[in-house]
Amino acid sequence: MRSVTLATFNDRDHADPVVNRLQQAGFHPQLRDETKWQKHRFAEALASVKVCVDENEYDSAKQQLKEWDATEHWLDQAVCCPECGSAEVDYPQVTRKFILPSLHILFYRLGLEEKQFYCHTCQHTWPLRIKIEPERDALNWPIKNSPLHENKDTTP
């Protein structure tokens, strides 16, 4: 059977209780840990631990997990796509096959490309950190008294 990702987490500590709870409920979850792959590729270990179930168990396991999450907040630390809510998420947004990941490492190190999350379901990408633009006046100059403006003259 083909396995489908049910939930994605940044670390094993949040994924293990979900796997154990699914096993207690009679499902057959697998834990896929890509942490070593990401460390080898010099990427932060984000969206690296995936809880997978067989395709025929997916719908019932997803429904059960939603019910548990409503009462016990099992998915508070889960990583999901902001557009479609899918758990089929990778970080960084490169294929795990062939030579492309090695080329992307070079691009990341040179600052030519920024690492982003990637959703396999809707192909949406989003950055790790969102850049906040400062407020601007009519002439498009940054407003100095804006709460987003850094004041370097004062010390904390």
**8 A C-beta contact, residue 65 and residue 7:** yes
Q: What does the pLDDT look like over 14-32, one tens digit per residue?
A: 999 999 999 999 999 999 8
Q: Which of 13, 110, 15, 7 is nearest to 52 (CA)?
A: 7
Cβ count within 10 A of residue 53: 24
Residue by residue, DSSP assigns 101-155 as: HHHHHHHHHHTSS--EEEETTT--EEESSPPPPPPB-TTSPBPTTSTTS--TTS-
pLDDT at 31: 92
Instruction: Give residue limits of the domains in the chain.
Output: 3-127
Please tell me the pTM assigned to this model.
0.70
Burial of 119 from C-beta contacts in 10 A (0-12 / 13-18 / 19+): buried
Question: Within 10 Å of residue 130's Cβ, how many Cβ atoms?
Answer: 6
What is the per-residue pLDDT across 26-76, written as a single tens digit (0 to 9) for each?
Answer: 999 999 887 776 555 556 778 889 999 999 999 999 999 999 989 988 888
pLDDT at 99 over 50: yes
Please report the pLDDT score of residue 155 as a whole number.
Answer: 45
pLDDT at 21 (0 to 100): 93
Q: What pLDDT is attached to residue 51?
A: 93
